[in-house]
């Protein structure tokens, strides 16, 4: 297998159309705002000081990411595994963040880019209580690029199809990690889901 170099790319890919280039906007407009306010899930990508990249799923109630202005998003951080890879990248790495927003039932996605900072301001945390808990911190994104991404990937994957994999085909995550590391004890999926309910 031969790796492609930068010069090879033009051989395999046509230039993007002017409309594809023009759709990248410098701020959140009414359409992007509506999409974010309907979204219960996004993927947060960050880059570390060593050039590494992290992508992390984030979710909450519909509209859990707050549109504070045309160039500002506020994302509350809920309990997780405490690795805080994303937030270490924000404070120690480049600070650049990319968000990919999903709305169940809509194949198009929304991409938002900018620079992130973190806040633990008590008033801000208190304004974002969800699941009866304030967030531990809030990611403040200074937005500089926003654009909608076509729905082809989600259409190909049939992500919103009613055809779903039965959860029972995979062991619980606790069992998987026990098998991989030898740490902790295996547990059923039902047990894991009960634990999750207390940690949202």
Q: How far is residue 178 from each of residues 138, 171, 193, measured CA to CA in Å?
A: 32, 11, 17
**How much is the pLDDT for 114?**
98
Q: How far is residue 25 from each of residues 22, 30, 34, 56, 102, measured CA to CA in Å?
A: 7, 12, 15, 24, 18
pTM score: 0.92
Q: What is the pLDDT of residues 185-194, one digit of tens each?
A: 888 899 888 8
Tokens found for residue 44? 């947060």
**Half-sphere CA count of 26, side-chain side, radius 13 A:** 0
**How much is the pLDDT for 81?**
84
**How much is the pLDDT for 195?**
83
**How much is the pLDDT for 38?**
98
Helix H, strand E, coil C: the string for 19-36 is HHHHCCECCCCHHHHHHH
Q: What share of the chain is helix, strand, coil (3-state, %, to 5)?
A: 30, 30, 40
Low-confidence residues of the chain: pLDDT under 50: none
Domains assigned to the chain: 13-157 (2.30.110.10), 165-199 (no CATH)
**How much is the pLDDT for 141?**
98
């Amino acid at each position: 297998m031969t790796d492609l170099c930068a010069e090879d790319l033009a051989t395999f890919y046509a230039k993007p159309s002017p409309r594809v280039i023009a759709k990248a906007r410098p701020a959140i407009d009414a359409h992007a705002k509506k999409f974010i306010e309907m979204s219960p899930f996004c993927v947060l990508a960050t880059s570390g000081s060593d050039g590494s990249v992290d992508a992390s799923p984030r979710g909450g109630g519909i509209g859990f990411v707050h549109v504070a202005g045309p160039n500002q998003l506020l994302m509350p951080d809920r309990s997780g595994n405490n690795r805080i890879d994303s937030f270490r990248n924000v404070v120690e790495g480049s600070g650049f963040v990319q968000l990919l927003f999903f709305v169940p039932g809509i194949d198009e996605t929304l991409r938002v880019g900018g620079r992130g900072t973190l806040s633990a301001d008590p008033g801000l945390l208190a304004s974002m209580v969800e699941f009866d808990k304030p967030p531990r911190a809030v990611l403040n994104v200074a937005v500089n690029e926003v654009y909608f991404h076509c729905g082809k990937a989600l259409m190909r994957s049939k992500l919103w199809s009613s055809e779903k994999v039965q959860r029972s085909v995979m062991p619980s995550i606790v069992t998987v990690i026990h098998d991989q590391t030898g740490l902790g004890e295996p547990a059923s999926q039902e047990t894991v889901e009960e634990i999750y309910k207390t940690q949202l």
